[in-house]
Amino acid sequence: MAEVGSTFTAVEVVDRGIGTDEAATTVEKKTTRGQCCISPPSCDYQALGHDETWNSLPVYIAGPSLSPAPSSAVLIISDIYGWRVPQTRQLADKIAAAGHFVVVPDFMEGEPYASTDPNQEYGGLHEYLERHSKRKAINHAKEVLEKIHTMGFHVIGAAGFCWGAKILVNLLKGDTAVGAGIMCHPSFLTTDDIKEVKVPLAILGAEIDIITPPKMVLEFESILKASPDVGHQSYCNIYPDADHGWTTRYEPNNLEARNRAETAHGEIISWFQTHLHRSTSADSQSENT
């Protein structure tokens, strides 16, 4: 087993045999691990930001009191457990502390997912996703991006988690203000989605993930690397022994799980520091010419 904090590149995934049919079968047998709809453990983190309402949409805001005022913004698209999950808000606060204005909208409209069947995790999921459709969330996300842009933030990044990654990928086609994206343990993604990406994208996958196994992440990376638009700036990492949802649904009292999540949080922040600050510098230079 790899040490907590290490990750696998695509080449290392192949070297380990992860992503092969045999490995996928092994993952599927671990029925209590790698599943998508596992509720986040309780967490007593007290968020540092505050809630607002933007055109009837509740949002969590982090970072407005930073000095100097941030020049870049980050949109966080949570999983179906919603914007109030303490682990998600803690990550938002960390990104804000790195110098960004952060917005976490309530795309689930006050109804975080809860299984309707006590005997299985996915009870009522289909009906739930019909009520909270992808199209509705994409439209809300674009409205939020427009709002952020009108506030003076012309350099914007976005992060998507699980279901949120499907929303995120639809914002990376070059027709929104998002200049860089990162997604963690994505769900519902297809190779066609990745082929349409026109801005730098990082994908953090889990070694133990039934929804998006390493083999699929490897396919996504090959598509990104072949892209003339984003190939030289995009990448994928596989986190050893990580489960689907490990970045925002970790058990705070489990040191190994928390350390693994914090490693991913550091990678997310580094991604935005690199790509958003680079864009900010480019904008400043263009304004001075």
More confident residue, 255 or 32: 255
The tens digit of pLDDT for each residue in 89-135 reads 999 999 999 999 999 999 999 999 999 998 888 899 999 999 999 99
Residue 161 has pLDDT above 70, yes or no: yes
Residue 22: the pLDDT is: 36
Q: What is the mean pLDDT of residues 270-287?
A: 70
Residue 59: the pLDDT is: 98
Give the relative orientation of helices 255-287 and 86-97 as an angle to the nearest 10 degrees.
Answer: 40
- Please give the CATH topology (third level) of the domain spanning 10-284: Rossmann fold (3.40.50)
Residue 88: the pLDDT is: 97
**Spatial distance between the Cα atoms of 1 and 260, rounded to a whole number of angstroms:** 13
| Backbone phi, psi, residue 240, to 5° | -60, 135
Q: What is the mean pLDDT of residues 229-236?
A: 96
Q: What is the mean pLDDT of residues 195-207?
A: 97
| Backbone phi, psi, residue 123, to 5° | -60, 125
- The full set of domain ranges for the chain reads 10-284
Q: What percentage of the chain carries pLDDT values higher than 70?
A: 84
Residue 10: the pLDDT is: 42
Residue 7: the pLDDT is: 53
More confident residue, 236 or 18: 236
The tens digit of pLDDT for each residue in 43-62 reads 999 999 999 999 999 999 99
**Spatial distance between the Cα atoms of 182 and 169, rounded to a whole number of angstroms:** 9
